[in-house]
Amino acid sequence: MKHNSNASSNGFDEAKLVKAIEFSKKHESKMDRNIERALKEGHFHEPWPIGKTIGPVKKRKGNSGAILRGNKIVKVWGDVEYTDMAFSMSKSFLSLCAGIAFKENIIRDFHAPIRDRIKTKIFETEQNRKITWSQMLQLTSEWEGELWGKPDWIDHNRNLNDAQKNRLEKGQKRKLHLPGTFWEYNDVRVNVLSYALMLAFGRSLADVLREHIMVPIGASNTWEWHGYENSWDEVKGDRLQSVSGGAHWGGGLWISTLDLARVGQLIANQGLWDGKVVIPKKWIKMSTKPCKLALNYGYLWWLNDKKSGMFPGAPTSAFAAMGVGTQILYIDPKNDLVIVNRWIEKDKVAKFVKLVLGSIDF
């Protein structure tokens, strides 16, 4: 991944691209830079003590970003080396870890019940015993229970897809459906997936990510992946921390903008880095296949389907990791484009992407 500050040589109109970046800077997120205070003051609208932060947090920086095309860094802005909290972009890194389990034959059938591969009481109840890896990755598991002191219902009715909007308030307990029949954005269940993957590997997912992805692509050693103060368990004689798939209650992936860009380039390259397979191309295809219950979602990646219009004017083949704040890792194979944007107002994300696409000089 090389740096080339000459936008025109990479197919951009320099003035238009600069305008897009200035738009981003102008619309920095209004989320408090003191993340600890933002969470304590109820950013996720949860009552205490059930919504209590139980993982580490750190202050965020201002708006930053990187634009890559053709394996080259075209533009960067802001503090791109600062290790910032990634919030729900962490979920897509769980998907990458699942991809390593696929590559290494640690999980051979993602449509098989999780309890066939690992033994843990959290998948032994009648509601949970038939839940598959695929359902967990697509957010259709309907897993029931409590993990690390957080019950599944704390995220009931959160960020529902179009067909399910505005029925109940977030955190209002509802009747559960059969696994695989209902889509719901739920951090507790994502953390259950993270724990299950750790048990399947028998290793910390931070170690898996480091060895199989971050070292091979030449990422820095500044990133960290945290769990919670109580998310420790003994696995094969080792005391391991189960990492979180977001920073809803603290923790999650902490990573620089440049390292995010590097991972984005890996995915844009269909899992290849310097000619070597880091993530199987087949896994990337599986990860970006739309869930039948939410066409704008794959295996923990947001998809740009026609109906959702997440990125109007962008190719429907584009997809993204997204996190609170708002932060995006946008991957556009058709345009050979990777965009990282951190701490921009949520309602400005689509326009920013549109401005960048509009700056491409076809």
For the segment 111-152, what is each residue's pLDDT rounded down to a tens digit? 999 999 999 999 999 999 999 999 999 999 999 999 999 999
The two three-digit tokens of residue 128, written as one number: 């949970």
Nearest alpha-carbon partner for 197 in 104, 133, 111, 112: 133
Nearest-5° Cα angle at 301, 291 to 84: 160
Coil/strand/helix, residue 326? coil
The arrangement of strands across the sheet holding 238-243 comes to 84-85, 252-255, 224-235, 238-243
Predicted TM-score (pTM) above 0.85:
yes
Under the banding of pLDDT at 50, 70 and 90, the label for residue 163 is very low
252 or 165: which leads in pLDDT: 252
Residue where the block lists tokens 């209004």: 30
Distance CA 169, CA 218 (A): 44
Q: How many CB atoms lie within 10 A of CB 320?
A: 24
Least reliable range by pLDDT among 40-49, 249-258, 283-292, 295-304: 40-49
Least reliable range by pLDDT among 148-157, 159-168, 212-221: 159-168
First to last CA, the chain: 23
Task: Please check whether residue 245 is in contact with residue 234, taking contact to mean a CB–CB distance below 8 angstroms.
Answer: no
By DSSP bridging, strand 64-69 and strand 150-151 are unpaired
Question: Residue 5's pLDDT is what?
Answer: 58
Architecture of domain 2-78+204-229+253-358: 3-Layer(aba) Sandwich (3.40)
**Domain boundaries defined on the chain:** 2-78+204-229+253-358
Distance CA 303, CA 295 (A): 7
51 or 31: which leads in pLDDT: 31
Question: Residue 2's pLDDT is what?
Answer: 65
Nearest alpha-carbon partner for 342 in 262, 263, 267, 256: 256
Condensed to tens digits (0 to 9), the pLDDT of residues 299-335 reads 999 999 887 778 999 999 999 999 999 999 999 999 9
Mean of pLDDT over the chain = 94
Question: Residue 4's pLDDT is what?
Answer: 56
Condensed to tens digits (0 to 9), the pLDDT of residues 225-275 reads 999 999 999 999 999 999 999 998 999 999 999 999 999 999 999 999 999
Q: Judge whether residue 41 has pLDDT over 90.
A: no
Question: Residue 237's pLDDT is what?
Answer: 94
Residues constituting the chain: 362
Task: Please check whether residue 118 is in contact with residue 132, taking contact to mean a CB–CB distance below 8 angstroms.
Answer: no
Question: Residue 307's pLDDT is what?
Answer: 78
Q: What is the DSSP letter of 203?
A: S
Under the banding of pLDDT at 50, 70 and 90, the label for residue 215 is very high
Q: What is the DSSP letter of 209?
A: H
Coil/strand/helix, residue 74? strand
Q: Judge whether residue 166 has pLDDT over 60.
A: no
Distance CA 90, CA 36 (A): 18
Coil/strand/helix, residue 338? strand
Average pLDDT over residues 50-61: 94
Cα-Cα-Cα-Cα dihedral sign, residues 33, 37, 40, 45: negative
Cα-Cα-Cα-Cα dihedral sign, residues 117, 142, 110, 243: negative
Question: Residue 161's pLDDT is what?
Answer: 62
Under the banding of pLDDT at 50, 70 and 90, the label for residue 159 is low
Under the banding of pLDDT at 50, 70 and 90, the label for residue 162 is low
Distance CA 65, CA 89 (A): 15
